[in-house]
Amino acid sequence: MEKIICLENINYHYHDAISALTDISLEIKRGERFAIIGANGTGKTTLLQIMNGLISPSSGKLFFKGDEVLKQTLKDKGFLRFFRGRVGYVFQDSDVQLFCPTVLDELLYGPLQLEIGETEAMDRAFEMMKMLNIEHLKERPTYMLSGGEKKKVAIGSVLTMNPEVLLLDEPTNGLDSKMQCFLVELMLALNEAGKTLVIATHDLSLVDELQATVGVLSEEHRMEKTGSAIDILKDEELLLRVNLIHEHIHRHRDIAHRHIHSHYLFHRHENS
Amino acid sequence: MRDQIPPFLLHRPSSNSFRLEGRNLRTPFLEKGMDRLAEMIKTAYSQWEYASREGFFQKIDARIKVLFLIFFVVIVSLKKNIGSEGLIGIFVFSLMLISRLNVFHLYKRILLFGLIFGSLVALPSILNLFGEGEVLFTLLRLSTPYEFWIYSIPQEIGITKEGLYGMVMLTLRVINSLSITFLLLYTTPFPEIIKALKVFRVPDTFLIIITLTYKYLFLFAKTVEDMHLAKKSRLLREMRHRETRKWVAGRVAFIFRKTRLRTEEVYKAMLCRGFSDTITIRQTAKLRQCDWVAGISLFLIGCLLLWI
């Protein structure tokens, strides 16, 4: 499979002082589902923003389809259209992403930027609203939406540009279980439709549901391990080390148990 | 879900290549300004980093440092000769060195502000157009002197010794005052400085308002930066000025709305933790022996500099 995103020895420091990423190298292939997992503050969002060319690494290289993405090349109109039209980014906080007056304007923004004709842009927006079941919200200002609706609009606003790669930052964070299920189904359907998905999350159940290739970030901001979801989720010692699972005590009637807990996979008792 | 995917999403771009247009995109001034402002606010991270280093000035109690700041700024303003100002400058510089601050980075900013607010502001006063004095360099010689209303233009226009001295003094005072302020800011965490203001009987309510403002300023700076990145991620062409103004106005409105909501939430959070109508903050600890020693030493050095 063709390599679509390639990172080589990426380092990132905030204000030349605080390290956010240390020597990250990874390859993402076309049509792959890739999950970057790690505890809070490990640099997942920073890594995703580097992949989208939103921030530039302190050192290291980013390649998209073999072309190096640089601050300078992103200033060129030709390359910018090529890159931004193919790589979409869904922010964790939908509020910051939605800046147009209404839901319809939001969905039209991307296609109009791509200079797609207004009729086609409208068609895309309406098809998207139908798919996401938000047709009734068409004229509503985005600040009048619920958390789940905002997330749908945020994803829709990126999808109307028809990107090849979709970068999603904590997509299921703060959503109810019904909305989470909807999102998982949507991501799988989009992947089947040929989209490459890159997700930053600490939700291990999401990783399992997507059966993604996983890159584990350590608290030292390094890529600790990459592998299949099965291999990574099996590796208790690794998940404990990177603080994605922990030991806790809970009670079954009068008996207290101490066991490894991730709210998902390792809810397992020693005696069972 | 699979059947509901719109056909346009199944379409793959025909070309894998791009054509460089050779034309660079310009970021509009307003947007750049917003982003830079957020960036500037966030540089306080480095202030926090320096303040938590192990250094001489970092170890001293914030109250002593605030008193030092006021005392030394008064001394800087009272001194009337370049030599004394120079001595104060050397003293503050050595304090920065033993506090392990990045002097190059700090003095770059101090000198820039010093040149703007000291030299540039006082630049016209070096000419004998605004005050009399001994002319050192002649810039222009007129055929005859002019007098009108309260103004007089001498025949020989030039830089005066007194004017130059005044400008150098003002620049040195600005540089010294800034160095002392930066020394305090970069060796003391901001919450400690706020607490130290209690020494001057600043009401607790006022202190808590400053603390909250400072904290939320960071949060909103982060939001502004994220909004900028969110737009950048969907921007494929140059934005027209009209579009930029519209976007900035929309985002300002968004920040206002968010601020109002956050204010209500913070107030509710304060209420549920027992807030009635008065604010009481933790009393500061007693000064240690080393703080007294440092305080007395700085006071004596200040008196010596005042006397010289």
Could you give the strand order of the β-sheet that contains A213-217, starting from the edge strand earlier in sequence?
A: A87-90, A165-169, A196-201, A33-37, A213-217, A223-228
CA distance B152 to B147: 4
Option in A55, A82, A157 nearest B18 (CB) = A82
Contacts of B259 in chain A (CB under 8 A): none
With a cut of 70, say whether residue B190 has pLDDT above it. yes
CB count within 10 Å of CB A160 equals 29
Contacts of A55 in chain B (CB under 8 A): 229
Of the pLDDT bands very low, low, confident and very high (cuts 50, 70, 90), residue A272 is very low
CB count within 10 Å of CB A133 equals 12
With a cut of 60, say whether residue A242 has pLDDT above it. yes
Option in B8, B25, B43 nearest A15 (CB) = B43
Closest CA to A237 of A224, A251, A248: A224
- What is residue A22's predicted lDDT score, i.e. its pLDDT? 95
CA distance B227 to A144: 18
With a cut of 70, say whether residue A55 has pLDDT above it. yes
State the DSSP code for A23: E
Helix (H) or strand (E) holding A89: strand A87-90
Mean pLDDT throughout B135-152? 81
Angle, CA of B238, B240 and B243, to the nearest 5° = 115
β-pair partners for A199: A35, A168
- Residues ≥6 apart with Cβ < 8 Å to B91: B301, B305
Q: Which of A77, A134, A169, A198 best tests the B interface by mutation, with the highest count of B CBs <10 A?
A: A77
CATH fold of the domain at A3-86+164-261: Rossmann fold (3.40.50)
Mean pLDDT throughout A3-15? 91
Q: What is the mean pLDDT of chain A?
A: 88
Sign of CA dihedral B125, B131, B137, B143: positive
With a cut of 60, say whether residue A269 has pLDDT above it. no
- What is residue B46's predicted lDDT score, i.e. its pLDDT? 66
Tokens for A177?
A: 């279980």
Q: Is A220 helix (H, G, I), strand (E, B) or coil?
A: coil
State the DSSP code for A234: H
Nearest CA in chain B to A31: B12
CB count within 10 Å of CB A182 equals 19
With a cut of 60, say whether residue A25 has pLDDT above it. yes
Asked if the Cβ–Cβ distance from A49 to B229 is below 8 Å, we say yes
**HSE, side-chain direction, 13 A CA sphere, residue B130:** 13
- What is residue A261's predicted lDDT score, i.e. its pLDDT? 61
Task: Looking at mean pLDDT, say which of A171-175, A189-193, B5-9, B27-31 comes out highest.
Answer: A189-193
Sign of CA dihedral A82, A83, A87, A92: negative
Helix and strand numbers, DSSP H then E, in chain A: 10, 12
- What is residue A264's predicted lDDT score, i.e. its pLDDT? 53
- For B43-57, B65-79, B231-245, which range has the lowest pLDDT when averaged over its residues? B43-57
Find where tokens 């009401």 sit.
Answer: B203
CA distance B4 to A185: 11
Q: What is the mean pLDDT of chain B?
A: 83
Contacts of B255 in chain A (CB under 8 A): none
Of the pLDDT bands very low, low, confident and very high (cuts 50, 70, 90), residue B300 is very high
**Where is pLDDT greater, at B50 or A130?**
A130
Tokens for B215?
A: 């904290």
- Rg of chain B's alpha carbons, rounded to an integer? 28
A-proximal residues of B, 42-101, CB under 8 Å: 42-43, 45-46, 49
State the DSSP code for A215: E
Helix axes A147-159, A118-132, angle to 10 degrees: 140
pLDDT digits over A103-147, tens only?
998 999 888 888 888 899 999 999 999 999 999 998 888 888 998
CB count within 10 Å of CB A73 equals 18
Asked if the Cβ–Cβ distance from B234 to A110 is below 8 Å, we say yes
Find where tokens 């222009």 sit.
Answer: B140
CB neighbour class for A8 (10 Å; exposed up to 12, middle 13-18, buried from 19): middle
CA distance A131 to A139: 17
The two beta strands, B151-153 and B146-148, are antiparallel
Phi-psi region of A117 (alpha: psi -120 to 50; beta: other; left: phi over 0): beta
Asked if the Cβ–Cβ distance from A101 to B254 is below 8 Å, we say no
CB count within 10 Å of CB B169 equals 17
Mean pLDDT throughout A258-266? 58
With a cut of 70, say whether residue B124 has pLDDT above it. yes
With a cut of 60, say whether residue A45 has pLDDT above it. yes
- Rg of chain A's alpha carbons, rounded to an integer? 20
| ipTM of this predicted structure | 0.76
Mean pLDDT throughout B168-193? 90
The two beta strands, A87-90 and A165-169, are parallel
Tokens for A168?
A: 């999603």
Option in A93, A95, A189 nearest B1 (CB) = A189
CA distance A248 to A246: 6
Nearest CA in chain A to B239: A113
CA distance B72 to B67: 8
- Residues ≥6 apart with Cβ < 8 Å to A125: A104, A107, A108, A111, A160
A16 Cα to chain B: minimum distance (Å)? 9
Asked if the Cβ–Cβ distance from B25 to A75 is below 8 Å, we say yes
**Where is pLDDT greater, at B293 or A269?**
B293
Of the pLDDT bands very low, low, confident and very high (cuts 50, 70, 90), residue A49 is very high
A90, A183 Cβ separation under 8 angstroms: no
CB count within 10 Å of CB A110 equals 27
Q: DSSP per residue over B119-174, as a string? A: IIHHGGGGBTTTS---EEEEEEE-SS-EEETTEEE-SEEEEEHHHHHHHHHHHHHH
Contacts of B257 in chain A (CB under 8 A): 143
What is the distance between the terminal CA atoms of chain A, rounded to a whole angstrom? 43
Asked if the Cβ–Cβ distance from A15 to B45 is below 8 Å, we say yes
pTM value is 0.74
Find where tokens 């690794």 sit.
Answer: A238
β-pair partners for A214: A35, A227
- For A121-125, A179-183, B84-88, B271-275, which range has the lowest pLDDT when averaged over its residues? B271-275
Q: DSSP per residue over A119-180, as a string? A: HHHHHHHHHHHHHHT-GGGTTSBGGGS-HHHHHHHHHHHHHTT--SEEEEESTTTT--HHHH
Domain boundaries of chain A, sorted by first residue: 3-86+164-261, 99-162
The shares of helix, strand and coil residues in chain B, as percent rounded to the nearest 5, are 70, 5, 25
Asked if the Cβ–Cβ distance from A113 to B237 is below 8 Å, we say yes
Q: Say whether residue B12 is in contact with chain A using an 8 A CB cutoff.
A: yes
Asked if the Cβ–Cβ distance from B45 to A188 is below 8 Å, we say no
